[in-house]
Structures are given as C-alpha cells and as structure tokens.
A and B are shown apart, each in its own frame.
Chain A
Amino acid sequence: MPEYKGMVQPTRASVAEMRKIYIEPVPDELKPEKAIEFLDQIRKKFRSFVLAMESCTKCGQCAENCHTYLGTRDPNNIPANRAELIRKIYKRYFTPEGRWFGKLVGAEDITLDVIEQWYSYFYQCSQCRRCAHVCPFGIDTCEVTFIGRQILHWLGITPKLHATTGAAMEKAGNHTALPKPGIVDTLKFMAEEVMDEFGVEVEFPVDKPGSDILYIPSSADFLLNPYTLMGAGMFFTYIGANWTIPSAVTEAGNFGFLFDQFWTQRGNVMRLLNAAQELGVKKIVWGECGHGWRAAKMYIPTLADRPVRWPLTHIHDEIANLICNNELKLDPSKNSKPVTLHDPCNYVRACGLNDNMRVIMNACVTDFREMSPHGADNFCCGGGSAILFDDPEMYRRRILFSKKKAEQVRATGVGRDGDGILCAPCSICKAQLYPMVEEHELGVEVKGLIDLVGKALVWK
C-alpha cells in the first residue's frame, strides 16, 4: 500500500528496477546518514538551493497560490512548508543557528520518517514554479524538490513510474519503450489517417540522412495524442521542410530532469546530440512537451559535454514566426468550437512561450476564450513533473490537484454545451487532463495546439 504513517506516496521502484538505472538502494538503517552526506555535497554546488534554504521569511504568500495546497489543504503542501521539510535538516546540520537553537528556528534531526516525508511531499509538487513567480524574493521551490528528489534517488527511493520511464528511455529512446519498427509502423498508419481525415499526403521520415530539421516529438504523440504528431507532419509538409524524426530520440520529454539530473538527464542530452550529429541536421525543433522543452532549451547549454552546434527552437516558435510572416494560410472556421488555452507551466514561467501560443491560437480558432488567470499567472494542471501516478491514493490526489484548473476551465464557459476544447499543448498536461476533464465533468475535449494548426491549414 503506497502510504506511510498517514502520508500518501507513489509506488516505489523495486530494487531490480533501481539497479537498471544504475542505483544500488541504500539500506534503511544507513539512509539518514547517507542523506546528510548527499545533501552536504549538493548544497555546496547549487546556489539556487542554498538561497531557497536561507532566504525565506515565511510570509505565507505562496500558500494560496499553489494548486496542490488549494486542492488538498494539507499544510505540508504549502510551498514554504514543503521546502521546510528539507530546510529543517539543512538548518540542523549546516547552519550555526540550527545547531545552537534547534527547534526554536525549526531545525530537526534527520530520521527515516523525514526521508519518507520528502518522498511523499516532493512527489506531490508539480514543479510548476508558480510559487517562484509569486514569491516576493523569487524563491523557487522547484530547486528544492529537484534536489530532494535527487537525494531520494541516490538513496534508492524513486517512483516506479519515473524509474521505469528512465530505463525505457535508455533502452528504446522513448518513454513508452516503443522500438524503431513500431515507430515506423505507427507513422505509416498515421500518414494513412491524415489522408483519410484531411485528404493530405504526408510522409513521416525516420532517420533520413541529410535532413535539415530534426523534429523531436513526444512519444505520447505516437499513441495518446496522435493529432499532435499528425499536425506536425502536416505543418512540415505544408512548408516543404526537409525534416526527419530520429529513431534514437523519439522523445521530447526528459524524466531525468524530474528525478535524476546528474545521470539520467545528462545521458538523454548526449543521446540527442549524438543523433543530431549522425543525421547531419541544421536545426532541432522540439514538439509539445512542457518539462521536456524546459529541460532542452534551458538545460542543454549547461549539461552538454561539447559545443552545441544546432539552434534549438520549439515548433510553436516556428509556426508563430511563419504566421507573423503571413506564410501560412489558415482557416479558423475549421476550428469553430469554443476553445480555452491551458498554459503549460514550463512554457510560460520557464521558456517564454506565452505570446507565441496566442499568436497561433488567434490564427487557428474562431472562439478563443482566455482563462483567468492565464499566461505566467496560470495554475498547473496538477500533473506537472509527471506525478501521473495511477495507484488509487495518488490518483485521488491528482483529482484534488486539478481542482483549481477545473474551476478555471468551468469559468470560461467553453464546456457549457459539452463541445468545448481545452487546448493543453504539453504531453503531461494532456495525460493529466484526459481523465481529469471526465472526473470534473467539464464538457471539454483535450487537444494540443498543433492539432488545431493541422486542422486549420488551407492546402489549396
């Protein structure tokens, strides 16, 4: 049962699964002492973490601005308190005030219970950065939970979902463990679908040597969000691009970013750079994936082990650019249902995609209604950082985490007649919202943004 002393916890990876991602779990009796050792190593490296530990004045402003607290009303889900779970240990072992004054300043000895607390609450955080966005100092809880998850991973505590996804990525080059023949077949099938539904002839080249553009789709687009990949195929065909999908990296996501930034995330970056080198491409274009785009755009420059020769952009950047240059003929009336846009957190607070998504939206649909709040102020869908756990306890939490989002969608009125569209251009948002729009009975269909572009393109 994924629960520990009343705290919900996601199902853990087994010892065998941890070994597959090169981690030997630390025995329970050694965990506290090892945790301090790891924390000491890491605090000396990351200033963003040190300042999150040392600057908070506990003003409490983050509480009402965090969807996990709004949904669960669990005090440990207040960002300041979530960080406090590790801050109390940091203070106790690494600051004079914590050593001398202990409980008075909130310092505490480390125990196995504290580590279990980390596991519960750091994996309830969506790492959406809304707390950083609203904090008067800009303290980023993301930096705390990244490091908390990293330490847990080194101790051998990682959710099964994250660990197996990491292993699949290493083996198959995508999170769904889809091998190359499966990818080629799926893409052929997709080309047929495009022909049947849109009357358009599209080819999805895989590993085509001498391509100009390397397109990195989310692997979920092969199975769960086919219209996103179909839309991308139609877009590239429409503009006459010489593009390809690399079979080595059929994954826009990078789960390493979410549980192991040292080995898994870095490994995925090298894998991408190798693929780009082999295929001799000129530019890398990223598909719809929130955390993956942040991991790529903002982290490749500091994780790469060689100079990065390829400019890296998001497909939304490119589509918006062509729209602004009047090069795409789009017919918004093809998307006439009411649409609202869920801003993926990583896009609007970490990657600056805010305006471009709206350029595309306004060109592709007739009835676009903004949520309140939207843009950088937007709330997370509740699935951020892949906390898409299916075990019953965690699933119930996911419903609570998405409560704020459901209220926002409802307030736009797009689902009033049951035919609205909730555009959520990120694979994790989609995976979270597919079931959540049903749980909250929102009367909307979840779609990507490229889905709408593909449908709106005018071919002759």
Chain B
Amino acid sequence: MADELIFQPAARLAAQLTAGKISSVRLLQAFLSRTMAVDGRVKAFNSHDETGALVQARAADERRAAGRARGPLDGLPVGLKDVIAVEGQPLTCSSKMLANFISPYDATVSVKLKAAGAILWGRMNMDEFAMGSSTENSAFGPTANPWDLSRVPGGSSGGAAAAVAAGELPFALGSDTGGSIRQPAAFCGIVGLKPTYGLVSRYGLAAFASSLDQIGTLTRTVEDAALLLGAIAGHDPQDSTSFRTEIPDYRAELKKRRGTWRLGVPREYFGAGLDPEIGAAVKSAIEFYRQSGCEIKEVSLPLAAEYAVAVYYLIATAEASSNLARYDGVRFGHRSTKAKDTVDLYCQSRAEGFGEEVKRRIILGTHVLSSGYYDAYYMRAQKVRTLIRNEFVCVFRDCDALLSPTTPTAAFRLGEKSADPLAMYLNDIYTISVNLAGLPGVSIPCGFTGTGLPIGLQLIGQPFQEADLLAIAHRYEQGHDWHTKHPALS
C-alpha cells in the first residue's frame, strides 16, 4: 500500500488528497519511512526537517478539512536542491564553506511553494555549488543512482533526481546551468525540466553562473512538471532578469495542445561519442512522433555541437569566479582560524572551505577574465555564444521543438570520470547549448539499456513556449510506460 503511494505521480496524489482518500500526514509518513529505509544507501538528502514537515502536513490537512485548501500542491512534500533558500533551513550548497549556514530569508520559489501549501522539507545533495555532473563533488559524500548503486545519479541536481526515482519524494526543484536538471533526470529515469532563462525567479538561488542558471523541476511525469512549473513561474521584481510573460495553466494546456508538430532532429547530436543503445532508443522515440503525425525534419547545429562545451567552460567559470568572490570568510560561511591578516583570511578560508572542482573553476574563470586573456578567451566565448544562439533562432523558424539524446551515455560508475575533469565536462555536450541560448529543455525517459539503466530523450523548445514543449513531451509519455517502472533497491 505504501509502495503504491510513494511511486504515484504528484498529480494523482493531489487528486487523492482532494478526494479525502489520504491525508497529508499519512502521505508524508509514507515518504519518511521510505527515506529511512533507502537513504542510507542512496544518500540523496543532505538534511530534512521531519518535525517541521509534520507540522506543515497537519496544517494542510486542517485547511483541507475546513474547505480552505490552497490548490493541488497543498499538503504535498517537495525536496529542494540544497542551493535554494528556505528561511530557517540549512543552505549548504554541499560545500564545507556553507556547512553551518542557515537561510535568513526565502527564495521566491520557496515563497510561492509555501503559498501553494507544499511542504518544504528535504535539502537535496548536489555537486558543490552546482559544479559537476555526478554529485561526486559534494563535501558530504556522493549520492548513488537508485537503479545501480555503483553508478552516479548524474549532477549537479543528483540528490533531487535520485530521491524522486527512489520514491523518497514525489517531486523536487533543482537548478540547471549546463544540464544539471536534465542529465540527472536522464540518469535516474525521471522527467527534468529546465525552463526558459527568465521564466522562474533566481532570487534566493545561490549563484553559480548567473547568465545560465535557471531553477526547474524534477518529477515523475510530464504532467507533474506542468503542475510544479505553474507554481513557481512568473515575473519577480527581485530578479532583474525575470521576464514579464503570461503564465498559462500548463497542466490544462497539455490536453488542449494537440498539434501535428514540426520536430527538428539535429544531425550532429547523433555522431561519434553517442552510445549506440542511447542512439537507438532516441531514434525509436523520433519514430513514435513520426507515426503520430508529426513532421520530422533533419536540422543542423554545427557550432552548438562542436563549440558549446568550450564556450560554456569559459563563460560559466568566469561568472563563477566572480560570484564566488563573496565567500571570503568575513560576513558568513567558513572562516579559517589560521589567518595572520585580512588577505590571508580570504585565502585560507577559501582554501579550507572550497572543494577541488570549485577551486579549479575559480582558477580557470579568474584566468580567462584576467588582463591579457580577457579578449582571447572570455570575449571570444561570448561571441561564439551569439553564433550558437543564432543557429537555434534559425532552426526554430521551421521547427516547434528539437529532439536529441540528453546524454551521450547512460549513468557512469562512481569514480569513473572524477580524475578527468574534461571527460566529465564532455558528458554535458547535448544539454549545454540550451543554457547558452537561454531555451527551455526537458528530459523524459525513453527506454533502458540492456543492463537496466534509464535513457533520456531531450526536447528543446522555443523561448517561453513551455506549454508547447510539455505538450509534445506529454504525447510521448502517454504512448509509453517507462515512467511506471521503478528501481528495485532491494
């Protein structure tokens, strides 16, 4: 019975709460006991506030009993990647630097989720400061992939993805700078949505690379993604890059939008480096769309395919080196006790507080911004970024969305790539250009490898056209049952 609850889509749980078939307290207890049973092996959570969550669940049940339920999310537990602020809760970014940090205020998404009645209780593990593709760069230890505990869950939102896949949470919020929602969603067999840059407020999201970061959703189904996106999207005066646009009822739109879409398939995304099993699963998904009446067009994104990773690692590290300058051991965060003077305080606190990948990226970012190298690296990368964006603008003249693999391979083994940063970076080859161009992208399950590892199909949409993107993804999901399969974790 509990098993039935923990693997149900959030939309179905919401319907049962509304119908009075279950209570929020009982639902939370099911997730709590699942977490107790499996998280010792999955290690998806950095922390959770069980007492606070039960108080929120009781309040939700009382609202519902009094006929004052706040909507479908009221009483549903949600996990937040440990990079999103919730007042009074820890915000560690999985870094020793912020190991003891307590958020003094709510992120805008947290305010919105609270207003919708959601129970904000779990702080999910991640690569330190969202820098990584495996969740191995966490100061608190790696998260395991629930489908094979010897493999990574992906990253950087690996804890959030693993917890949803393992039935420890119905859904979660993550952040995606170069694929950090879509890639772990693909590795864990769930749905990961990165919205258009500017659709969801970044206020209260600890910054990594501000021109690329976007908060998004990790869910069991596309309908759940629509449900959760609707709760967090919208203009926010506290984020100057937040965009004023009408927010449709994404969930209602899933059923309304039934076009014969024009879907582009970028030929360069099926070349060398793509695992044949992944390629075959994605091609079969493309065939499904063709059979269902969509027009499939081969398109070309030569610059995105060849240069996106290089552009990304110059721009993202440059922005990171600037954003992470705030961690100096003075106002908050780790402070070294060894420092002799103020400058030494900065140098030692940062040396002790940051992990290896964060240091590597700060060094690289500082180098590419430094005098004499700025034009050759950073400025050139920004210009190639323009060209990559233009490629997408061009293909979207004839396409409603693009289809591609989310990742070149399925989940790799823990430790397999951790000694070779460049090999790790190349794992994001299909997801990164979406952030550079500021587009929405979603990864949905489209099969399993012969060894039982999930495979992700990436759909890339036009800016602020999430309703179409999700409707297209929903059509595939309706025709398949991948989302009903769960890891055994026995």
A interacts with B: no
